Structure 1
Amino acid sequence: MAETSSSGQRAGQGRVLAALALAQFICSFAGSNMNVMINDISEDLDTTVQGVQVAITVFLLVMAALMIPGGKLTDRYGRKRCFVTGLIVYAVGALLSAAAPGLGVLILGNSIFEGVGTALLIPPVYILTTILYQDVTSRARAFGVIMALGGIGAAAGPLIGGLITEGISWRAAFVFQALVIAVIVLLSRHLEDPLPPDPTRSFDTGGAVLSAVGLVLVVMGILATDNSVWLMIALIALGAFVLLWFFRRVRAKEASGQEPLLSLALFRNRTSNLGLITQNVQWLLLMGSSFTVAAYLQVVRGYNAIETGVIFTAATLGLLTSSLAAERLAERRPQRTLIMTGFVLTVIGVAVLIALAAAYTTAWAFVPGLLLIGLGLGVMLTPSVNVVQSSFPEEQQGEISGLSRSVSNLGSSFGTAIAGTILVSGLTKGAYAAAMITLAVIGLGGLAAAALLPRTTGGGAPLAARTTAPTTTLGDS
């Protein structure tokens, strides 16, 4: 009887982990699968490459802007309720995108509805994983599965999207997303919220608006670079002002004893801050290189969706290989070492992509670089998340999960906006090289941040404490 009960419990945990991992997969897939549909969408909807870039970037930006409020709402309404609600909103957006008659409706469905849905469903994924798996080894295993599927969704998005686009239509790729959401909803029936919701928790609506507006203005400023330098400066400056206003509001609310949208205490942990920087740069590299290479292959080299997707298989294989080894690597190597190794491999991969693309016209020239990027990202995605999430006790998981996902998705937005804007301004071999060099330089910045993480004696030792440990566990390392 005990063995049967234990077996049933493991099966239930497996279904829950599958639901959480699939949720991360489909959201990451949505951020990259449109990269191989650039020509098809622009022709079908009578728009431009820049129009598709805007749709992709706005989707990533909406996620980033609303992830902190989404994480905060989990405390008030419960993790499972926010998770399921986000899935439903996402599915509506996917079906709306599939039926879009023009770019405006596509942005409404894909960028707005799917972005809002993602902001609601992703924070619960990380909160539940951190709470349900409390020791570093099992948590590394769970995060390894989630980040592997997330990375695969981003890396395999071009291949899956290409197969669907060429075999059926780009619209069918959004129907595919809705079908995956339906599977996740079925699996989530076995999900139980380990912490009761607290309806009395306040929600800082003004802070949510200010943080979202500030982030939107900054990223839109980057997108405006190709049209007007002065408009870019104005938007970024205005965004910085709004974000400063937001943080001053947070400080004032904390001083008066009220609960702000985001506690400034989250930024007092040095290790967590460094981990957040590495997360931001990792996703910037992943989405920036994905958009740049995909757009270059289609618009400049003339490859179709499926050919572009097949080339990206190299990145998928690399990411899958290293992500699935996350548990074993976490036992043998310090988190800092893994993150630094990942950045080194990724930057080398970007350099190889630049060099081989300049020397050869064959599609195989893109394979070694993409493989290295995939391996590098897979090595460091899980330890970066583990470093940040494990820095805080259970009662702060809603806040830090929202902040963590916001920072990661903001990195995705920056990657598509910065590298995409450089590429779209020229759509030549020179513009491609300039975009990739920019990504490599930013990657070196991420490596520098990783080098400042505290040294460990091995196997992620500082993370061995459970999440109920004091907030300063990592910060004092």
Structure 2
Amino acid sequence: MPQPGRVAARGIVLPLALSQFIASYAATNMNVAISAIAADIGTTVFGVQTAITLFTLTMAALMVPGSKLTDIWGRKTCLVAGLVVYGAGAVLATFAQGLGLLIAGYSLLQGIGSALLIPPIYILITVAFDDVAARARYFGVVSGAAGLGAAAGPLVGGLVTTQFGWRASFLLQVLVVAWIVVLARRIVDPPRPRPLPRFDVLGAVLAAAGMVLLVGGVLRTAGAGWTGGPLAWMAAGLAVLAGFAVHIRAREKKGEAPLCSPALFRDRTSNLGLVTQHLQWLVLQGSFFVISVFLQQVRGYNAIQTGLVLVPATIGILLSSAAAPRLARRHSQRRLIRAGFSTTTAGLLLLLALARADSGVLSFVPGLFLLGVGIGIMLTASVNLVQSSWPDSAQGEISGVSRSVSNLGSSLGTALAGSILTGAAHPGGHPFAVALVTLGGFALLGVLSALLIPRRDLTREG
């Protein structure tokens, strides 16, 4: 189809970018309100951490099934349905009086809604824009919205929580989602190829169960350590995921449509791009959680104070995300991802060297700024690398896999960091340092993964 004009492009991209923004915002705004929520609904830091982890885990577990449903129900239908479910979850969380209802509304319904609404975002941009440069530009807009949402979450969430209470933050999401639904009426969904695929129910169950067991095992280490039950959970999760791999191969050999094609995992460039996506979200969410808990539990900061301390990271993400299109024209995605992880690692090292329980607020600025710059540099680069590795016919599936891998990283990052902090009576000092060192190790693994990406240049596309 012909490339839409600038006005038409805005009509398509604006609701998609806002949808990605609100989903990313929901993943980070809770961090600054941990203490307020725990005190209000009668739970603990570990309880709120569980809710945050389950939110991103629900997205990770259901993102691939959600992507497959776009081929069956339609992209626009899934987008709007996801927004409605997400909004309903936000309403339920607004009025939650205990951890159970908070998990039901925030972790489950908003997670399910996100899994439905996020895959159509990238698919609709792919099918709406034939020009590779335009497509990459709008991928950059949406990826930038993801980074902006993640960066703005602590500041906006902190401001709203301090002024109006943590429930108002969920109410704000309801209003934004209602606005997006109105804007989404202008989206035109091109016809889907026929015949429509059948949904792989067993594959969806195996994928979801494997991720839940794996992340659930990491969560349980907070109280039980890294042996016994938690280790058994993680081993079971890996076994179930291996069963999922066997299942989709067998289904494809029989001529039946699997939940996702095994061929998606045979391209080295795409696989390493997925690894970098997973690691960057693990480091981002894990770092934000560690720093937020430290500021609230050790320094005694409230939500807005916590959000303000995190502003340098927000500025870093915004500046580097804004520069992403220009950087992509000058450098390969491989180089940008490598530079992003290196900068992020330097930021974590500065936090370890300068930030202390009794140090001034300025001691956090250099490390947080570099952390944000590094994350912002590679957000768009990783998405472009993965999506550009596949033809249009595979964009639906690879979009779901990409988002699932990213959200699994977010979930594991929060669970891993939280298990180190909440497993100690006083989550400062040594546990804080150990958590940041651990996350720094994953950032270095990201550098190594970027170095292994083949040198063929997919990047001048954007």
Residues 214 and 238 of structure 2 are in contact (CA less than 8 Å); yes or no, is this contact kept in structure 1? yes
The CA distance in 1 between the partners of 2:248 and 2:192, in whole Å, is 26
Alignment of 1:431 with 2:431, yes or no, is yes
1:327 matched to 2:297? The reply is no
Q: Contact 2:20–2:142 (CA<8 Å) still a contact in 1?
A: yes
What does residue 249 of structure 1 align with?
Answer: 247
Name 1:154's counterpart in structure 2: 150
Where does residue 86 of structure 2 map in the other structure?
90
Residue of 34, 39, 42 corresponding to 2:35: 39
Post-superposition offset of 1:149: 1.6
Determine if contact 2:347/2:367 at 8 Å carries over to the other structure. yes
Letter of the aligned partner of 1:295 in structure 2? V
- How far apart, in 2, do the equivalents of 1:358 and 1:130 lie? 46
Q: Is 1:286 the equivalent of 2:281?
A: no
Tell whether the 8 Å contact from 1:315 to 1:370 is kept in structure 2 after alignment: yes
Kindly provide the CA deviation profile for residues 126-159 of structure 1, in whole angstroms up to 9, marking residues without a partner as x: 1112232344432332122211221111111011
- Does structure 2 conserve the Cα–Cα contact (< 8 Å) formed by 1:80 and 1:124? yes
Alignment check: 8 A CA contact 2:81 2:117 kept: yes
Q: Distance in 2 between matches of 1:454 and 1:131?
A: 27
Return the match for 1:99 from 95, 98, 104.
Answer: 95
What pairs with 1:330-409 in structure 2 (closer than 5 Å)? Answer: 330-358=328-356, 361-409=359-407
Report the residue type matching 1:428 in the other structure: G
Summarize the alignment of residues 143-222 of structure 1 with structure 2, pairs less than 5 Å apart.
Answer: 143-196=139-192, 198=194, 200-222=196-218
Q: Do structure 1's residue 450 and structure 2's residue 450 form an aligned pair?
A: yes
Contact persistence 1:221–1:234 (CA under 8 A): yes
Match of residue 473 from structure 1: none
Distance (Å, rounded) in 2 between the aligned partners of 1:298 and 1:197: 52
SS at match of 2:190: coil
Match of 2:8, SS state, is: helix
2:380 partner letter: T
Letter of the 2:261 counterpart = S
Deviations, residues 239-283 of structure 1 (Å, cap 9, x unaligned): 111111111111111111111111100011110001000000011
Structure 1 residue 359, shift from structure 2 partner: 8.4
Alpha-carbon distance change, 266 to 454 in structure 1, aligned in 2, over 3 angstroms: same
Equivalence for 1:474: none
Deviation, 1:391, is 1.2
Structure 2 CA distance for partners of 1:136 and 1:394, relative to 1, 3 Å: closer
**Partner of residue 119, structure 2:** 123
| 1:76–1:199 CA contact under 8 A, matched in 2 | no
Contact 2:282 2:410 survives alignment (8 Å): yes
Aligned alpha-carbon RMSD (Å): 1.7
Structure 2 counterparts to residues 232-243 of structure 1, below 5 A: 232-243=230-241
| More displaced 10-residue stretch of structure 1: 350-359 or 184-193 | 350-359
Mark the CA change 1:251 to 1:49 in structure 2 (over 3 Å): closer, same or farther. same
**Equivalent pair of 1:86/1:120 in contact (CA under 8 Å):** yes
Q: Is the 8 A contact 2:223 2:423 kept in 1?
A: no
State the SS of the aligned residue for 1:358: coil
Contact 1:342 1:375 in 2 (8 A): yes
Report the secondary structure of 1:285's partner residue.
helix
- 1:327-379: CA deviation from partner (whole Å, max 9, x where unpaired): 11111111111111111100100111111113861112111111111111111
Letter of the structure 2 residue corresponding to residue 394 of structure 1: D
Q: How far is the alpha carbon of 1:195 from its aligned partner?
A: 3.6
Within the alignment, does 1:142 sit opposite 2:160 as a pair?
Answer: no
TM-score, normalising length from structure 1?
Answer: 0.93
* Unaligned 5+ runs, structure 1: 1-5, 465-477
Q: Count matched residues.
A: 457
**For 1:22-46, what per-residue CA distance to the aligned partner results, in whole angstroms no more than 9, with x for missing partners?**
1111001100100011111101000
**Structure 1 vs Structure 2: percent identity of aligned residues?**
53
User: Matches of 1:364 and 1:204 in 2, distance apart?
Assistant: 52
CA contact (8 A) 1:334 1:456 kept: no
Matched, 1:411 2:409: yes
Name 1:311's counterpart in structure 2.
309
SS in 1 for 2:356: helix
Query: C-alpha separation between the residues in 2 aligned to 1:143 and 1:398?
Result: 14
Specify whether residues 361 and 11 from structure 1 end up closer, same or farther in structure 2 by C-alpha distance, changes over 3 A only.
same
CA distance in 2, matches of 1:295, 1:62: 23
Could you tell me how far apart the structure 1 residues matched to 2:11 and 2:340 are?
30
Distance in 1, matches of 2:8 and 2:96, equals: 38
Which residue identity lines up with residue 132 of structure 1 in the other structure?
A: A
SS at match of 1:68: helix
Point out where structure 2 has 5 or more consecutive residues left out of the alignment.
none
Do 1:208 and 1:261's aligned partners in 2 also have CA atoms closer than 8 Å?
A: yes
Tell me how far apart the structure 2 counterparts of residues 143 and 356 of structure 1 sit (CA, whole Å).
36
In structure 1, how many angstroms separate the alpha carbons of the residues matched to 2:294 and 2:403? 28
Q: Distance in 2 between matches of 1:440 and 1:12?
A: 43
Is the contact made by 1:422 and 1:435 (CA closer than 8 Å) also made in structure 2? Answer: yes
| 1:300 corresponding residue in structure 2 | 298
Q: Say if 2:299 and 2:357, in contact at 8 Å, map to a contact too.
A: no
Greater than 6 Å deviation, 4+ residue runs: none
* Cα distance change of structure 1 residues 460 and 189 upon mapping to structure 2, 3 Å threshold: same
1:456, CA displacement in angstroms? 4.7
Whether contact under 8 Å (1:283, 1:409) holds in the other structure is yes
CA distance in 2, matches of 1:164, 1:38: 14
Deviation at 1:12, TM superposition (A): 2.4
One-letter amino acid of the counterpart of residue 266, structure 1 = L
Partner of 1:441: 441
What CA distance in whole angstroms lies between the structure 2 residues aligned with 1:199 and 1:80?
A: 18
Q: Is the 8 A contact 1:77 1:198 kept in 2?
A: no
| CA distance in structure 2 between the aligned counterparts of 1:132 and 1:434, rounded to whole angstroms | 46
Given that 1:130 and 1:389 are in contact with CA atoms closer than 8 Å, whether structure 2 keeps it comes out as no
Q: Is the 8 A contact 1:140 1:382 kept in 2?
A: no
Q: Which amino acid letter does the alignment assign opposite residue 13 of structure 1?
A: A
* Cα displacement string for residues 365-413 of structure 1 (whole angstroms, at most 9, x for unaligned residues): 1111111111111111101101111111122111101000000000000
